Amino acid sequence: MSIKKITKKLPQIREQLKEFREILLANLVMIGEIPAPTFQESERIEFLLNRFNEAGLADNSIDDCGNGIGILNGSEGEKAILVNAHADTVFSSKTDHTMQVTSDTIDGPGVADNSLGLAVLATLPYLLQELDITLKNDLILLGGVKSLGRGDLEGVRFFLDNNSFNITEGICIEGVEQGRLSYTSIGMLRGEITCRVPEMYDWSRFGDASAILTLNEVINKINDIRLPKRPRTSVVMGSISGGSSFNTIAKEATLGFEVRSESEEVVTDVGRTINDIAREVSSKTGDDVELDIFARRKPGGIPYAHPLNKCTRDIMNSLEIEPRLAPSTSELAAFIDKDIPALTLGITSGDHIHKYNESVEIDPIYNGITQLIGTIIAIDGGYCD
Amino acid sequence: MEDTVIDLQNWIDENTYHHSQFWDLKKLVAKKEKLGLTISLCLPTLNEEKTIGKEVIIFKSELMNRYPLIDEIAVIDSGSEDKTLEVAKNYGADTYLSSDILPDLDPKMGKGENLWKAIYQLKGDIIVYVDADISNIHPRFVYGLVAPLIHREEVKYVKAFYDRPLAFSGGVRASGGGRVTEILVRPLFSLFFPELTTIIQPLSGEYAVRREVLEQIAFPIGYGVETSHLIDVHNKFGLEAFAQTDLDKRVHENKPTQSLGKMSFGILQTFIKRAKALGILEKADHETILRQFQVTKDHYQQNKISIVEEERPPMIEIEEYRKKFGK
């Protein structure tokens, strides 16, 4: 079967998927309503395992790291394809996780990143069964935990380090954005800088002490770092927190940041410069300035012309999905570290990502799942080796 | 009196379930099919576009497609001005405008009207009613209620209750219903229908009932429908017709006190009408024990409080008083 034979089948698969709309959306709603901040994903993983059990998957388990794993045995089983979706979201367990269903959308915190990805993973065995699709290779379905923020891809890394399968390709599923095709990881360094006014501070120095002012000094200095245009490099100042009220001097303030670059060397250099800035500001102000680096990624990935990449682009084009090529710092990086060809796909369109009114569009989901199934069939058929 | 109390406690122990007892849906569906039963789900609506889509999707996916426990999902609407019917229809529910059912009868506005018309419109041997404003909807809201009817032929009416406190330090704690239940309905039932105090949440909007019962009882169209059901089913079939299931937590919008006042007014009208018809108000003496609920772990017990409202006569009738003041 050539890739054209696969792409020819896809419109029919897309139509058939519509019959299973309620099953997919019910999984999305039920998963979405289980809070799963990083390090607290166990209830979602339990739901995922129930779905795998109901679909009759042979070996389902929760590993020592807390990942949920389902195995769809292939007829030959010499190789394995790993499909991964991270189970955690950026929302705390105190957030109201009620999902709302309209005719066109599903709305609620975390619905796009990544409740939809996990719901697709939970529904995939059922869909393959109903579509009568059988595979030669084993299909490993991994609901990965401890992925975001300080989790630093711990779940997927643990599985890749400790499994006994011959994993030849990987696919990471993200709820949004359809068209996303990530096959490279950029170099990255993620950390926090926390400024603290020391306990022994002389409070008689009227008004000139504040952890926020100190952090502001740090931010200005980071902003002054000269970054190269080639290789492309940026510093993302992603979050800031500190202080407690209008009229109390802030004793603590924290900046969350990421350094991203196509070059690992540049990432290391910028990281070193930020460390120097922290020391310099600390010595000037007398405040404690603590730098905590808790995640790193090495740049890498597969080339544009890699068969996995080419096949996936063909599949996307046949479904009129325009591939948008963008590097990633998510689970893909764990595959790259293991030299396993892998890519990240988005399922549908979404809005208000990481806000309480996050939403996903329902109609494009069928196309998004069809591209995923098409890619799995192509890998299984040996077109991506 | 003691005998009655023991009986009531026995009834509670033997007829109170938790939805988790019925988790095995495969088994439940097999038993339903063996019995040849059909089950209809009725969702009465009025402007519920925010929650109806989710309810239909979850019930259709889990209880029709995966496990064919229910045979139809029907939304019966009182004339919503939002997209309730459009959303429900989009996800595969049968949708009806209440006024289109039995069109020769004068249309009436109220949830009870929709529940009553469902008996005519729907086909099932069992009808499950679930309110459409539940934001934490789950399949247990249906299977938890129909399961006792499938497993026990003598049970005819299964009522939901919700009892999962968010924080509880252990030991014995109070249980029961909402404000209207505890302030109005439970005292009334304690006075006049002590057996009905065994129903932990008499006003819950979720229940599953056999058609043979539904077709024989009247339906107030407003707030009194749940109260009247309990009194009428109890009167016709006795306490043994009931069972109740704990469905854990139910999340919905809280009602302001003024709305509860309206609700209580409707319930009182229904109650008085039935109490008069049954000749209960005319009885010289009535019960003086208020029956509330307490729970230890998952064991529900009635807490009996004797409240005898004794009275003193007007002071003028007391001889010593008259002497003292020369009257």
Which residues 6+ apart lie within 8 Å of B153 measured at CB? none
Task: Decide if pLDDT at B1 tops 50.
Answer: no
Residue keyed to tokens 């405008």: B97
Q: What is the pLDDT of residues A275-286, one digit of tens each?
A: 999 999 999 888
CB nearest A26 (choices: B50, B62, B251): B62
pLDDT band for B178, please (50, 70, 90 cuts): confident
Q: What is the pLDDT of residues B249-288, one digit of tens each?
A: 887 777 788 888 999 999 999 999 999 999 888 876 778 8
Work out the minimum CA distance from B58 to partner chain A, whole angstroms: 5
**Between residues A235 and B4, which one has the greater pLDDT?**
A235
Sign of CA dihedral B225, B226, B231, B232: positive
Q: What is the pLDDT of residues A6-28, one digit of tens each?
A: 999 999 999 999 999 999 999 99
Query: CB B57 to CB A101 under 8 A?
Result: yes
What part of B 14-53 touches A (C-beta under 8 Å)?
49-51, 53
| Interface-testing mutation among B57, B60, B87, B166, with chain A (most A C-beta atoms within 10 A) | B57
pLDDT band for A305, please (50, 70, 90 cuts): very high
Cα A191–chain centre separation: 17
Percent of chain A with pLDDT over 70: 97
Q: DSSP letter for B194, please.
A: G
Query: CB A26 to CB B60 under 8 A?
Result: yes
pLDDT value at residue A202? 62
A130/B contact by beta carbon, under 8 A: no
d(CA A134, CA A128): 7
Least confident of A195-204, B236-245, B261-270, B278-287: A195-204
Work out the minimum CA distance from B27 to partner chain A, whole angstroms: 14
pLDDT band for B176, please (50, 70, 90 cuts): low
CB nearest B57 (choices: A26, A33, A54): A26
pLDDT value at residue B302? 82
Which DSSP string do the residues of B142-180 spell out, in sequence order? HHHHHHHHHH-TT--EEEEE----S---SSEEEE---HH
Query: CB B65 to CB A54 under 8 A?
Result: no
CB nearest A101 (choices: B53, B62, B86): B53
Contacts with A20 from chain B: Cβ below 8 Å:
65
End-to-end CA distance of chain B: 45
pLDDT value at residue A152? 93
pLDDT band for B175, please (50, 70, 90 cuts): low
d(CA B226, CA A18): 39
Structure tokens at B6: 């023991």
Mean pLDDT over the full length of chain A? 94
Please give the domain boundaries of chain A with CATH numbers for all domains: 3-185+299-380 (3.40.630.10), 187-297 (3.30.70.360)
Residue keyed to tokens 């020369």: B326
Cβ atoms of A278 and A218 within 8 Å: the answer is yes
What part of A 24-53 touches B (C-beta under 8 Å)?
25-27, 29-30, 33
Query: CB A29 to CB B62 under 8 A?
Result: no
Q: What is the pLDDT of residues A27-81, one digit of tens each?
A: 999 999 999 999 999 999 999 999 999 999 978 999 999 999 999 999 999 999 9
Query: CB A22 to CB B57 under 8 A?
Result: yes
pLDDT value at residue B110? 87
User: Side chain identity at A218, as an amino acid letter?
Assistant: V
pLDDT value at residue A24? 97
Q: What is the pLDDT of residues B197-232, one digit of tens each?
A: 999 999 999 999 999 999 999 999 989 999 999 999
Residue ranges per domain, chain B?
A: 2-173+193-253
The residue-averaged pLDDT of A83-111 equals 96
Q: Is 1.10.8.80 the CATH classification of the domain at B2-173+193-253?
A: no
Structure tokens at A66: 């807390």
B90/A contact by beta carbon, under 8 A: yes
Task: Decide if pLDDT at B164 tops 70.
Answer: no
Task: Decide if pLDDT at A143 tops 70.
Answer: yes
The residue-averaged pLDDT of A375-381 equals 96
Task: Report the residue of chain B nearest A106, measured CA to CA.
Answer: B54
pLDDT value at residue A232? 92
B107/A contact by beta carbon, under 8 A: no
| Interface-testing mutation among A47, A51, A101, with chain B (most B C-beta atoms within 10 A) | A101
**Residue B6, SS3 per DSSP:** helix
Q: What is the pLDDT of residues A318-366, one digit of tens each?
A: 999 999 998 888 899 999 999 999 999 999 999 999 999 999 999 999 9
